[in-house]
Each structure stands twice: as structure tokens, then as C-alpha cells.
A and B are shown apart, each in its own frame.
Chain A
């Protein structure tokens, strides 16, 4: 059975596991067969027919939705890929009820992963996949109200499950829903003798989201060919800007390395906390590179005192004035600053670790008039 189309042309096509009752060949369908169309519900096959659409003659399979008699047409070639399958057997449905009544392990709390997985399960997971969606979202709804989109998804999944249970067990939909909710929410004091639930359907593993890492932030500027314009100090300005912005935005690494490669991305994703598992990144093994978790206190402190950090970032980059005076060792320069905020403390070791190549020359300090007030402010404090 074919799965969802790949999300990127380079990605391999997802292959779904074979489900019970999956229809691989459209010629196997006969009029009167009851099928489940994942997006529509339970349908009855009316028969094959040919239709001319946009000048093309297409072989179609006509079906009628049981719920309201709506016509559903599926091209013969797509019968396998849309996830058409036969109505689940009574034995499988029995397992589904035991699954619904079983204790659920913790529901997925990451909404992105949950929503994507649920969408996949509803299309390619069979009746057990739909039951998984219903049970998962029901368990989540006990913790907190579902967001609107997932509330709709929950209702759709429940609708599909009710229709399939009713078709499989040969009962009215109203009764099927009572059976489902009796399993999900048994009355107080009710205990079931449960069998082990059927094996869950393995969904195709999504390729992890790609991140293209650049070795050096300056590469982007180099590609622009700005060096050829002959503007002096352009690279240094960019470095200073990056350091200040990085500090303000909470990416302390930005100020530390002035700037560490990919620091913004790392910090952004950590704060997000909702990203899919990301491919292992080629991390440069420099001592300045740290794990984002270790930097969290420093990040928090830097964000808290954004303005002081900005002021402090100036002197950090304006070591040229400090460097001008050869008598003062570089370690004393930060200690001289009177404002000793927590953010400053956090960034102290970072300043010490600053590579020697980074100090900005006199030219830069003089060219950037905006930095001077910042430096003065820092001194005044």
C-alpha cells in the first residue's frame, strides 16, 4: 500500500504497513461490497464506470456513502493509494474494544507530532489507527480541553469509528457509540476482563526535518561579494551587530563567540520545544560551543536584563579601548565595570573565552558612532 506523498522531492516515499482488508486491486471490487474510505466513511460499491474528465477517459469506481447516499468516485488507479479497505472483521473489532478499554500510556503532548501522527493514522492506520486517535485525544481531553482543530479531528475520528463499528457489528450507529463510550468511560465500579489489545499499526517514520547548517555566518555576506566593493570594516560591523542582537534576543552564545555559528537556530528551537526530532547536526568541537541546556540560566539572566546586557555587550566588543591600555589585563576589564548584574556574571567566562582574533580594531570603534554611547553608558554605571 502506498502512503502519503513525500514532503520533499528528495525524501523517500513513505510505505504504510499492510492492513487487514486493504484493497490493492480495483478489479477485486464487486457491486455491493462495503468499504471504508478513510476520508468519507463507510461506502457501498455501486460499480465501475467510465467518465470523461478534461478530455480524458477515466476508469472510475462509483461508490455510495452509507451515511447520506452521497456519490463517491475513485479512479481505479488510486484505489490502493487512497486507503480504501474492507470493513473490519468482528474479531478485529473485538480487539479494538479491548484496546479502547485498556489503560492508556501517556498521551503525546507535543501538538505538532500528535496532530501529524493522528492525521496519518486516520488515513492509513485502519480501524485500530482510528481507535488510537480517539483514545489518544480522549485521554488528552481529560487533562485539558482540546484546541479547536483537534476537537474537529476528534469528532471526525469518532464519526469514522462509530460508522465502522456499526457496519462491522451490524448495529445502529447510536448503539455503536454507546459501546465505544462504555469502553472509554465505564460507569463507576465497572471492571472489564480485558485481553491483550492487538498490535498497534506501525506508521511510516517521517524523515526528520532538515536543517542546513552554515559553517560561518560570514559566508552569507561573502557570497554577496561585498568585499569587492571595498568597504572597510564591514565584516567587523556585522560581527558586532550579531553580538548585540544575539545578547538581546537571548542567544548568549552570539555574544560569546561574536557569533557562534547557528546559535540563533539552536536557541530558537530549544525555546520552541515543539520541533520534530532534528537530524544530528555537525557540531564543531570547539570549546566555546556548549549545549543549549547548559546555557539556560545565562540565557534567562540575559533576557531579564536585556538593556544592561546590551550595554555590556558594547564593552565586550569594545575591548579595543581596553586593549589600548596594555597595563590592564583582559580579565580585569569586565571586573572594572561597576554594574555587576547576574547577566554580566553569566557572560564573564564567555568573555574570557573570547577568541583572540575577534577584538575589533580602532577603526571599527571609531566608525561605529552608535557604539560609543553604549560604552559610555556602561562606564557611567
Chain B
């Protein structure tokens, strides 16, 4: 396999990690959604590239799903939801931007060290891909944890799933059924969470999840 093929795959996966970092420091909802759309687009490119180099046509289906749903449908739907609900557009973070970025770097370092150490015999392409996708998963979790807003938690969750798809695409021989079912389960989760968003909004006039905690009669 020519070197530059691997380099492009790495570049796309690395771009995904970079976009995850971008998500970490967004403090506007629209900007966050736009970054997420970009994230999904890079994922689409990455999966399509994998389909090309692995000669696996079914991966094109995965790429198409990512393009249609994650890059277009979900961001547009989120934009609409925000407009209809009139949600506050700035995000309240639980942790300052600086510490969050530092934590993110530590997580990436951790996943690199871990993946490179536990998979010494694996194919170098898949190996680095796995390290990148683990970073994306962890950064997605970090995004969920450091935001108080329900919409940003949804986006963190879906960027986490992007990391899973990246890993699945990198691993050769992953059946299409698995990928499609993962994609659809994420879609269902999005719908369920969307419905909940409406409900929360109707009841509390905000999607800040701390309102839920106040409703339970708890202190923060």
C-alpha cells in the first residue's frame, strides 16, 4: 500500500480529532452545531476513503448514511429546534476552556499510549485509526460532561458515535449490518432525546439540565 494512502487516512482521522477539540471550546450553540456538521463531513470523507482503499463497497453506504443524516438532517433539525424553542444560544460550561483543553490533550495522549501498546501486531493503518477513534470517543464524553446544556450533551453524544463509526470503518471485515444498526440506534436516540428536549422545555422554559435537578429538589 503506498504511503500516501495511509497518510490521507491518518490526516482525515486526525482532522476528526481536531474537530472534536474545536467542539470543546465552542460557547455558542449554532457554532457548536456547525462544528458538529463539519465533524460528520470529515467522518464521511474518512469512511469513503476507507471504502476506497479497502475496496469495500458497503462502506460507501455507511459514508452515505453519515453524510445524509449526520451532516445534513440532524444539524438542520437541531437548528430548527433551537429556533422554535428560542433556546438561549450561549453555553454555560462547567469547566473553564483552558482546563477542558488540557484534559482533552491528556485524553488523546492516553488513548495513543494505550492503543499503541495493546495492539503491537495489528495492521498499522487500523492501529492508528483505533487510537484516533478512541480519542474522538473520549473527547465526545468530555464534551458531554463539561456542558450544562441538554442540546450540547446531545451533540457530544453524537460526536462520540462518530468515533465509533470511525473505528468500525477502520477495522476490516466489519459487517454492514452492524454499522447500519449503530447508525439507526443513534438516530433513534436523537429522536428520543429531541422529544425529551421539547418536554423539558415545555415544563421548565429552559433546556439547562440543572433545572431538572432543581425540580428533583436537589442542590447543585
Same complex origin of A and B: no
Interfacial residues, chain B to chain A (CB-CB below 8 A): none
Interfacial residues, chain A to chain B (CB-CB below 8 A): none
